[in-house]
């Protein structure tokens, strides 16, 4: 009897959380999550244990702001093998927000990270190297 009550409680909690929280739509290959602030779409790519080539993540906000990233894949960079990610941000109607692009490289153990920040014209405005 206790198991039936516990299962019923957990199912009720799941239904309540689904109705009140962000809505997720999962189709073969895509995951969409809608929140009051916007929509996030994730498209899984070619599987790799640490760098999923072709995977994307997209965000569209309520005020026209948008962001997306795409995993380019494993590349030789600065003498090592790194996962290369391109991340783009568009500000929309958000005050003070500027479009930018980030070239992001990280090692498999995530102890070696390079970030190259570029403005909307592609000009490098900042570079960072982080090691753990």
Between 65 and 81, the higher pLDDT residue = 81
101 — pLDDT class (breaks 50, 70, 90): very high
Closest CA to 115 of 67, 74, 83: 83
Quick check: 25 pLDDT over 70?
no
| The two structure tokens encoding residue 7 | 């299962």
Pairing of strands 56-61, 38-43: antiparallel
Model confidence over 75-94: pLDDT tens digits? 999 999 999 999 998 876 66
Between 25 and 65, the higher pLDDT residue = 65
Overall pTM > 0.75 = no
106 — pLDDT class (breaks 50, 70, 90): very high
* Amino acid 37: pLDDT: 73
Residues recorded for the chain: 132
């Amino acid at each position: 009897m206790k198991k039936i009550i516990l299962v019923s409680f957990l199912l009720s909690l799941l239904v309540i959380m689904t109705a009140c929280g962000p809505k997720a739509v999962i189709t073969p290959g895509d995951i969409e999550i809608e929140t009051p602030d916007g929509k996030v779409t994730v498209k899984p790519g070619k599987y790799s244990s640490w760098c999923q080539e072709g995977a994307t993540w997209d965000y569209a906000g309520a005020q026209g702001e948008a962001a997306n990233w795409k995993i380019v894949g494993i590349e030789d960079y600065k003498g090592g093998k790194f996962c290369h990610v391109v991340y783009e941000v568009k500000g929309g109607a958000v005050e003070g927000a500027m479009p930018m692009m980030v070239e992001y490289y990280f090692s498999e153990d995530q102890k070696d990270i390079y970030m190259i920040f570029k403005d909307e014209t592609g000009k490098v405005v900042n570079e960072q190297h982080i090691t753990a």
